[in-house]
Chain A
């Protein structure tokens, strides 16, 4: 059997059906929205930082999309807590698939990385490294 049903192991289905940190923060330090137009996946990530302005204190997300994108955002929201913004910035695709703990088929990678990309772009805009007019994030070539 292919990577498909492996892709939907219990953990992924659990995060999809019961997303963690789902909602919005009262007073986030930054907020960013991204989408994956071909799937219609949309994710909004809110991040609140510690007083040091570097460490991620809490993350919340809302969104609409496939199991892979939603489960990935849910897991990421737990994973990011306590990380620094630099550490967030350093997360690559392998880190995301490792976190998901399953092989993601090539056509679905963009779903898996959407949450991470939104969080990273949000942080970059917050630091003035990315133009906020390039308002939305897309994980498509």
Chain B
């Protein structure tokens, strides 16, 4: 076996940081946690939905609750100061990680979806109107697709979709035709969570900017597993979620260019985001706090920064290489199995996920059978229903990899897929 020898880092050592990877499954799914009815090894291949959280990150979150839990920005007392410093510095960690100029450009949100809605409401409702258009791709996640679709209805702006080629790539000629002088925003997914396609965000940014439009990159599936730099990509906005990158749920980030965020009005009002309030008027806090109304997700923000530090220690290039290795291996092995249709570009051109269907087996049945072998994958439309309509299928199965996955786990997937195929044959 040569493939393991190509691992860019010590995967075994990484796995030691994730005790959940050692658990058994197969028993009663209605009672959380492992018990004596569980009897097969977990093979977790649903990382595009959410990733696991390593001990150093869990410890950092626990440490906050155990030793300096307190509200931020409000107190003069020591705990509040400690919490405020840690929470604020977490913004610096995120800013550094994606090449932003500073914490002013990083707003903590609940997730990618909320980041998208923040821009759609705070910028879109104010700026869009009849005659304008917003250009998306056919491979958008519902987080961006539904949001802009509905903002389009509210404002009268037209929503256009750049087509996907038969090979699962973005049709850049169509992009050049659809992005025009009336384009106010291009909102595009960086790495497709269904096709695995890595989209040319920088080229789209150039098209958008040539027409005085803005560009928003949905980086939910790229920031977790490859180096992403907002200046290299030349984006105006970018969003991602902590829970897909070794962090906790309930935290994500919106990057926005400072002058754009400065010009935007708040999306949520309340405490923490104001400077001066009278019965008649209010003024807003500086960035990024202007967009973080109410008590934020403090422990999650601190855990988010810890996750980034964890990933940086491994190295983003190496994580990217590891994912590519597994994706290509999975692509080849599933192709060799026969009767498997894989969506999206070839194995050497994709992010770390493979969505597919097995002839004669509904994706939900496949996932149920795989679950018996301990193999956790996603089955359904992965929040890209219109893309699935374009593909002509109602649902697909998706295996998605992360830094702790192994070649043996891909083999377990392929073996289980073979069993399922034979069961239904």
Contact = CB atoms under 8 A, between A and B. Distances in A.
B381 A2 contact: no
Interface stretch (B22-30, B122-130, B164-172, B224-232): B22-30
Contact of B29 (A2, A40, A41, A65): A2
B380 interface: yes
B26 A105 contact: no
B407 interface: no
B8 to A, nearest CB: 34
A65 B362 contact: yes
Given A67-B362, A67-B424, A106-B30, A38 B380 contact: yes
Contacts of A67: 362, 365, 424
Interface stretch (A3-11, A53-61, A90-98, A129-137): A3-11
A30 to B, nearest CB: 26
A25 interface: no
B210 to A, nearest CB: 39
Interface residues on B, range: 20 to 34
Given A106-B29, A106-B30, A4 B364 contact: no
A40 B369 contact: no
Contact of A8 (B365, B381, B385): B365
A45 to B, nearest CB: 19
A64 interface: yes
Nearest to B383: A38
A13 interface: yes
Contacts of A8: 365, 368-369, 423-424
Contacts of A17: 424
A68 interface: yes
B26 A1 contact: yes
A7 B362 contact: no
B421 to A, nearest CB: 13
A118 interface: no
Interface residues on A, range: 20 to 34
Interface in A7-50: 7-8, 13, 16-17, 37-41
Contacts of A79: none
B395 A39 contact: yes
A75 to B, nearest CB: 16
Nearest to B367: A4
B23 to A, nearest CB: 14
A80 B3 CA distance: 56
Interface string B345-388: 00000000000000000111100111110000000110001001
A85 interface: no
Given A4-B369, A5-B372, A39 B29 contact: no
A125 interface: no
Given A1-B40, A2-B29, A64 B394 contact: yes
A17 to B, nearest CB: 8
Given A1-B40, A39-B395, A67-B424, A108 B368 contact: yes
Nearest to A67: B365
B15 to A, nearest CB: 23
A40 B372 contact: no
B27 A2 contact: yes
B285 interface: no
B280 to A, nearest CB: 44
B182 interface: no
A66 B364 CA distance: 7
B39 interface: yes
A39 B369 contact: no
A123 interface: no
Nearest to B374: A2
A3 B372 CA distance: 7
B369 A111 contact: no
Nearest to B372: A4
A41 B25 CA distance: 28
Contact of A2 (B362, B364, B371, B380): B371
Interface of B: 25-27, 29-30, 39-40, 362-365, 368-372, 380-381, 385, 388, 393-395, 423-424
27 contacts: A2-B25, A2-B27, A2-B371, A4-B368, A4-B370, A4-B371, A5-B372, A7-B368, A8-B365, A8-B369, A13-B423, A13-B424, A16-B424, A38-B380, A38-B381, A38-B395, A39-B362, A39-B394, A65-B394, A66-B365, A67-B362, A67-B365, A67-B424, A68-B365, A105-B368, A108-B364, A111-B364
A-B pairs, top 6 by smallest CB distance, nearest first, are A40-B394, A66-B362, A4-B372, A4-B368, A2-B26, A66-B364
